[in-house]
Amino acid sequence: MSTGVIIAIVVAVLVLVAIFAIAMPRMRRNAEVRKREHELQNRRERVAGEHRTEAAERNRQAEMAEQKARMAETEAKRERAEAELREERAKMHEQGMADHELIDESERDKFAGTSAVRDDQAPMRDDDRPMHEPSSDYEQGRADEARDEGRDEGRFSRSPESEPVNDRTTRPA
């Protein structure tokens, strides 16, 4: 072998050793950085998961609190309505409109003639119907009147004169 080849081999080996000497620590450093990045990524995911779990728990608690608030609001409305009802009953009693509630059936004779026991009844018709109910004669009169005027008995029936007019056509004949 010639000296030139040996020198070339030695130079090549030295270059390779220099490359490895320089590159190996850098590769180890890169491997350590990747390892630390991987560990950091794992920590990020773990902490993010903890935050999401806490957020879900707080959302659940907030929903429960909202539901309890709605229930409390409903209860407050019910109590308010009950209070208004009691107030109206108190007014009725103050005005003597509920005296009948103050006596038992057994006491009717004792309180006869008072506002608690009314002797007067609603005015009645000859056929034992209250005056505020319409008579069949009234209804028959309305039907006769409608017939005489040439329209149906229905309350909302229309005559040809009351039919709506379309701009493009004339009234129906």
pLDDT digits (tens, 9 = 90+) for 41-85: 999 999 999 999 999 999 999 999 999 999 999 999 999 999 999
Indicate whether this model's pTM tops 0.75. Answer: no
pLDDT of residue 37: 92
pLDDT digits (tens, 9 = 90+) for 117-163: 765 544 555 555 555 555 666 677 777 777 777 655 455 555 555 55
| DSSP, residue by residue, 121-165 | ---B-TTS-BTTSPPHHHHHHHHHHHHHTTS-SSTT---GGGS--
Bigger pLDDT: 38 or 158?
38
| DSSP, residue by residue, 10-22 | HHHHHHHHHHHHH
**Distance from C-alpha of 161 to C-alpha of 47, rounded to nearest angstrom:** 82
Domain ranges of the chain: 36-96
